[in-house]
């Protein structure tokens, strides 16, 4: 795979250009990240910094590797055979891919919400209590469950049927349940992989509200195919795109631009970003 296209990609840390008023603490520092599936390079040259108590959105056309990159933050890609990364993701200064790092410990601190709601076929209560039980937080379980459901704005809807199966909830409720499940273990970061793509607009609006509600306590990374959503909820936005590798007819994703959301949507510095956010492709 050739590397001669590297020069055209702006990899300088854009955070330096437009810092939000008080420079927030950096949670993740991604340095020259490449992701491979076997010999195939799925994503190349991602460098960005994620700040505490902010919502960071990953946008871009499908196949641009935004979900792949997101899954590196809690090492979910480890579960895919042949997947590996080059470069570094520093989490508070520790490389997540240091061989001594236990991915399970990573996932305890960094929660994830998936595209399709995936409640366990257990009761609502047991779904939320699952993580805390795992982490040995067995005391005051009822309070933890209530707090998590309240934070996920689901409490009033389900408080009378906590022992009922979570499979009986609507899609939007299931997704909020999954958010509640993720935050019940008090992670520092919540990763969201297109959390609203399976939901109707009303359910989507509730989840967006919810993200604003909880961002003071968590750091959120969200992948979305919906630019309006990114513009509505996020503080910073990373725009990814794909390039075709001519000799192998495969596509590799790459980070085009990373900046404050306002800047990305009003005055992007890269032409490709501008074309994308204004809807003019090519």
Partner 1 sequence: MTDLSFDREAERLLLEATTSRSRRVKDRLASVWMVGSVVVAVVPLAIVVAYVVAKGASALSVDWFTKDLPAVTRKAGGGMGPAIVGTLLITAGAALMAIPLGVLGAVYLHEYGGRGRLAGLIRFMADVMTGVPSIVMGLFIYTVFTLRFGLMGFGGSLALACLMLPIIIRSTEEMLRLVPDELRQGSYALGNRQWRTVVTVVLPAAFGGIVSGVMLAIARAAGETAPLVFVIGAAARSLNTDLFSGNMTALSVQIFSNAQTPFAAAQTRAWGAALTLIAIVFLFTILARVVSARVARRHNA
Partner 2 sequence: MASPPVDELTAPRVVPGGDGSALLGSGSSRRGDSLFRWVALLAGLVVLAVLALIAWSTTKEAWPVFREEGLSFVTSDTWIPAEGKYGALAFIYGTILSSLIALVLAVPVSLGIALYANEAAPRRLRKPVVYVMDLLAAIPSVVYGLWGVLVLAPAIQPVYRSISDAVGDVPVLGWLFNGTSGRSFMTAGIILAVMITPIITSLSREVIATVPPAQREAAYGMGATRWEMIRSAVLPWSRGGIVGAVMLGLGRAMGETIAVALVIGSQAQITAHLFEPGDSMAAVIVNQFGEAAGTHRAALIGLGVVLFVVTIVVNVSARSIVGRFDRRMRGA
Interaction mask 108-127, partner 1, x per CB under 8 A: xx-xx-x-x-xxxxx-----
The single-letter DSSP state of residue 165 is B
Residue 175 beta carbon to partner 2: minimum distance, rounded to whole angstroms: 20
Q: How far is CA 198 from CA 117, 170, 193, 228, 262, in A?
A: 8, 11, 11, 16, 27
Q: How many CB atoms lie within 10 A of CB 244?
A: 10
96 binds partner 2 (CB under 8 A): yes
Instruction: Report how far residue 279's alpha carbon sits from residue 42's, in angstroms, rounded to the nearest whole number.
Output: 24
Residue 206 beta carbon to partner 1: minimum distance, rounded to whole angstroms: 20
101 binds partner 2 (CB under 8 A): yes
Q: Choosing among partner 2, partner 1, none, which partner's interface includes residue 197 (Cβ < 5 to 8 Å by kind)? A: none
Among 30, 33, 46, 106, binds partner 2 (CB under 8 A): 106
Instruction: Report how far residue 136's alpha carbon sits from residue 121's, in angstroms, rounded to the nearest whole number.
Output: 22
Q: Choosing among partner 2, partner 1, none, which partner's interface includes residue 144 (Cβ < 5 to 8 Å by kind)? A: partner 2
Contact 124, 166 (CB under 8 A): yes
Closest to partner 2 by CB, 218 vs 239, is 218
Residue list 162-221, contact with partner 2 (CB under 8 A): 183-184, 186-188, 217-218
Contact 28, 93 (CB under 8 A): no
Instruction: Report how far residue 111's alpha carbon sits from residue 230's, in angstroms, rounded to the nearest whole number.
Output: 20
185 binds partner 1 (CB under 8 A): yes
Listed in sequence order, the residues at least 6 apart from 86 whose beta carbon sits closer than 8 Å to its beta carbon are 32, 33, 34, 36
Residue 108 beta carbon to partner 1: minimum distance, rounded to whole angstroms: 3
Contact 176, 153 (CB under 8 A): yes
Residue list 1-30, contact with partner 2 (CB under 8 A): 25
Footprint of partner 2 (CB under 8 A): 25, 91-94, 96, 98, 100-102, 104-106, 109, 139-140, 142-144, 146-148, 151, 183-184, 186-188, 217-218
């Amino acid at each position: 795979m050739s590397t001669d296209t590297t020069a055209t990609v702006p990899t300088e840390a854009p955070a330096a250009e437009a810092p939000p008023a008080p420079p927030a603490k950096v949670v993740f520092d991604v340095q020259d990240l490449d992701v491979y599936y076997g010999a195939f390079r799925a994503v190349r040259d991602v460098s960005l910094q994620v700040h505490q108590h902010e919502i960071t959105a990953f946008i871009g056309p499908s196949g641009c590797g935004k979900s792949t990159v997101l899954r590196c933050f809690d090492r979910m890609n480890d579960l895919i055979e042949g997947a590996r990364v080059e470069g570094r993701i520093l989490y508070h200064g520790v490389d997540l891919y240091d061989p001594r790092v236990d991915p399970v410990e990573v996932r305890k601190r960094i929660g994830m919400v998936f595209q399709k709601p995936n409640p366990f076929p257990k009761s609502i209560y047991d779904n939320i209590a699952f993580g805390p039980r795992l982490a040995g937080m067995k005391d005051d379980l009822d309070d933890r469950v209530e707090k998590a459901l309240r934070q996920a704005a689901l409490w009033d809807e389900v408080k009378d049927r906590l022992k009922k199966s979570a499979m009986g909830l609507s899609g939007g409720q299931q997704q909020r349940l999954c958010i509640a499940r993720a935050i019940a273990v008090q992670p520092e970061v919540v990763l969201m992989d297109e959390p609203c793509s399976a939901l109707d607009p009303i359910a989507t609006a509730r989840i967006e509200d919810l993200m604003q509600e909880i961002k003071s306590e968590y750091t959120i990374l969200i992948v979305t195919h919906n630019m309006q959503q990114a513009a509505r909820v996020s503080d910073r936005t990373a725009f990814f795109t794909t390039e075709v590798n001519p000799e192998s007819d495969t596509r590799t994703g790459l980070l085009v631009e990373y900046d404050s959301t306002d800047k990305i949507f009003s005055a992007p510095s890269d032409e490709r970003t501008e074309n994308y956010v204004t809807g003019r492709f090519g």
